[in-house]
Amino acid sequence: MIGVCLGTFDDKQGTKVLCFKGISQKLANKIVFKVMVDSFSCTDSENRDYSAEESIIPIQEDNIITFSQFFKIRKDDVRGKEKRFSISLIFDRTNRSKVYQEASYLSAFLNNLKQIVAKNYNPEHEFPKDFLKNFDQLINKSIKFGILEDTQLKNKVQIICPICYNKNQVSVPKLIA
């Protein structure tokens, strides 16, 4: 895995990067824009929503692929009374087939992260400054990665629950730090 990126769509500013890890600000801006545009392109003129909660989006010019989840949080002063967010895992494009193969495990990781993000969201003040400042710690607290090679040359990731500290190992695409 190259990095992680959290973004939103602001009615006045458009797409907006909230925090990121492992990538540049420029790449984070590009990812949030492409991911959010992808999520908005799934509605029709009658306002029916055909969007999925997840999407795998290749960004060929940067040789990356993103595994993204979208979610909404209620906010009364925005259009539609819901604010859209995206959280993306960024991988080298050479890991594309593995991202598809291991999508259920990546989905579980993002679901956990998404719940923590939603819990820290305050409709009045967006996110507390300390939450955004400590995004690295959020990633590390939500799921800790321990890469272990197995005999089939797949990586194993050790998932540790931040509440009960139960451990579980799952196979994932090769993570590139």
In the predicted model, is pLDDT for residue 49 greater than 60?
no
What is the arithmetic mean of pLDDT over 27-33?
93
In the predicted model, is pLDDT for residue 59 greater than 70?
yes
What is the arithmetic mean of pLDDT over 88-107?
86
3-state DSSP of 37-70: HHHHCCECCCCCECCCCEEEEEEHHHCEEEEEEE
In the predicted model, is pLDDT for residue 146 greater than 50?
no
In the predicted model, is pLDDT for residue 161 greater than 70?
no
In the predicted model, is pLDDT for residue 167 greater than 80?
no
**What is the token pair recorded at 69?**
């989840």
Which residue in this structure is represented by tokens 């595994």?
67
Query: Of the candidates 26, 32, 28, 27, which has an alpha carbon nearest to the alpha carbon of residue 14?
Result: 32
pTM comes to 0.69
The whole-number pLDDT of residue 153 equals 40
Identity of the highest mean pLDDT range in 17-31, 49-63, 104-118, 157-171: 17-31
Are residues 36 and 7 in contact, defined by beta-carbon separation less than 8 angstroms? yes
- H/E element holding 17? strand 14-21
Domains and CATH numbers, the chain: 3-143 (3.30.450)
